[in-house]
């Protein structure tokens, strides 16, 4: 019998090791308290962003505002070029999805890989990383690690909200919904279901969650060169597993990775 939860140990090892690598200097000192209240609910305060369990609801609401207004603000922040590149490459993948996903739909070459990186094990493993960081930071009294865990959790919450809404809009069928030898075409707007059910295939929720958390961890521990490689490498394996299991098309996975990175870096870390 294979060990389908082996991936959880990998994520746990990453999270447990990071707290030991906690920087001796946790970052710039917090900004002095404001004498006057912020101009608006989502106004950014000077200095490093504050985060706590109590502030998470407000932070997530403000993140969502920034996420959904991004198409309007992108030209002013000169981010329209990378955004256009992501959209263009996604369009290419959509055009070739039927062929590329068809290979994974028919092959049996990844049975061993799929028995380890199951949908359940990778899903639990993704959530285990910030939880392990939070426990390690709390037990070891490392504020920097605790803050990293909360920011990673915030990024995952933002990603889950965005993914659910976009899935419901696209209502895309999954490759595994097709018979074994069928052509994987006409996949858009075919699923039916209630609102906010996340019933579609586009984008991959596993992938967007993995990359949003990985981006936060990788950028906050970038001084340790191995951390980004491990964080993004594990996230890449999660995305690849969604292809080998015929759970998603390549464009679903790529857009999930791009959105997760963008949410982690620009919406949550705001850099």
CA distances 163 to 48, 157, 227, 260, Å, are 28, 10, 26, 10
Average pLDDT over all residues of the chain: 85
The reported pLDDT for the residue numbered 23 is 55
CA distances 212 to 25, 68, 140, 269, Å, are 24, 16, 25, 10
Asked, for residue 136, whether it belongs to a domain, the answer is yes
Asked, for residue 21, whether it belongs to a domain, the answer is no
The reported pLDDT for the residue numbered 16 is 52
How many CB atoms within 10 Å of residue 62? 18
**Closest by CA position to 144, among listed 56, 269, 21:** 21
- What is the C-alpha to C-alpha distance for residues 271 and 264, in angstroms, rounded to an integer? 9
Cβ(90)–Cβ(254) below 8 Å: yes
The reported pLDDT for the residue numbered 31 is 53
Cβ(220)–Cβ(23) below 8 Å: no
Report the greatest alpha carbon distance in the chain. Answer: 67
Those residues whose C-beta lies under 8 Å from the C-beta of residue 20, and which sit 6 or more positions away, are none
What tokens appear for 133 in the block?
């960081």
Number of continuous H segments (helices) and E segments (strands) in the chain? 10, 0
How many CB atoms within 10 Å of residue 78? 8
Q: What stretches in the chain show pLDDT beneath 70?
A: 1-40, 45-47, 74-77, 194
Asked, for residue 25, whether it belongs to a domain, the answer is no
79: left (phi over 0), alpha (psi -120 to 50) or beta: alpha
- Which of the 8 DSSP states describes residue 75? G
How many CB atoms within 10 Å of residue 56? 15
Asked, for residue 78, whether it belongs to a domain, the answer is yes
- Residue 207 structural domain: 56-268
Asked, for residue 118, whether it belongs to a domain, the answer is yes
Asked, for residue 45, whether it belongs to a domain, the answer is no
State how many domains the chain has: 1
Asked, for residue 10, whether it belongs to a domain, the answer is no
The reported pLDDT for the residue numbered 14 is 53
Query: CATH code at 223?
Result: 1.20.144
Asked, for residue 38, whether it belongs to a domain, the answer is no
- What is the C-alpha to C-alpha distance for residues 66 and 80, in angstroms, rounded to an integer? 15
């Amino acid at each position: 019998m294979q060990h389908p939860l082996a991936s959880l140990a990998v994520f746990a090892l990453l999270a447990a090791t990071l707290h030991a690598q906690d920087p001796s200097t946790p970052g710039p000192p917090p900004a002095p308290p404001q004498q006057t209240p912020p101009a608006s609910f989502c106004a950014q305060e000077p200095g490093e962003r504050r985060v706590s369990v109590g502030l998470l609801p407000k932070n997530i609401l403000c993140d969502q505002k920034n996420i959904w207004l991004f198409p309007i603000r992108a030209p002013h922040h000169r981010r329209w070029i990378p955004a256009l590149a992501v959209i263009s490459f996604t369009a290419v993948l959509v055009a070739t999805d039927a062929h590329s996903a068809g290979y994974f739909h028919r092959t049996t070459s990844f049975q061993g890989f799929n028995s380890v990186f199951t949908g359940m094990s990778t899903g639990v493993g993704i959530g285990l990383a910030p939880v392990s960081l939070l426990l390690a930071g709390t037990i070891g009294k490392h504020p920097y690690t605790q803050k990293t865990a909360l920011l990673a959790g915030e990024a995952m919450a933002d990603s889950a909200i965005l993914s659910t809404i976009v899935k419901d809009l696209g209502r895309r069928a999954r490759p595994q919904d097709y018979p074994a030898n069928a052509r994987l075409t006409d996949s858009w707007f075919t699923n039916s279901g209630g609102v906010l059910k996340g019933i579609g295939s586009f984008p991959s929720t596993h992938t967007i969650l993995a990359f949003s958390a990985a981006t936060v961890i990788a950028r906050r521990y970038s001084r340790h060169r191995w951390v980004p490689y491990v964080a993004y490498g594990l996230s890449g394996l999660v995305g690849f597993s969604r292809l080998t299991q015929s759970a998603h098309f390549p464009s679903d996975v790529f857009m999930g990775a791009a959105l997760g990175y963008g949410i982690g870096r620009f919406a949550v870390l705001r850099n």
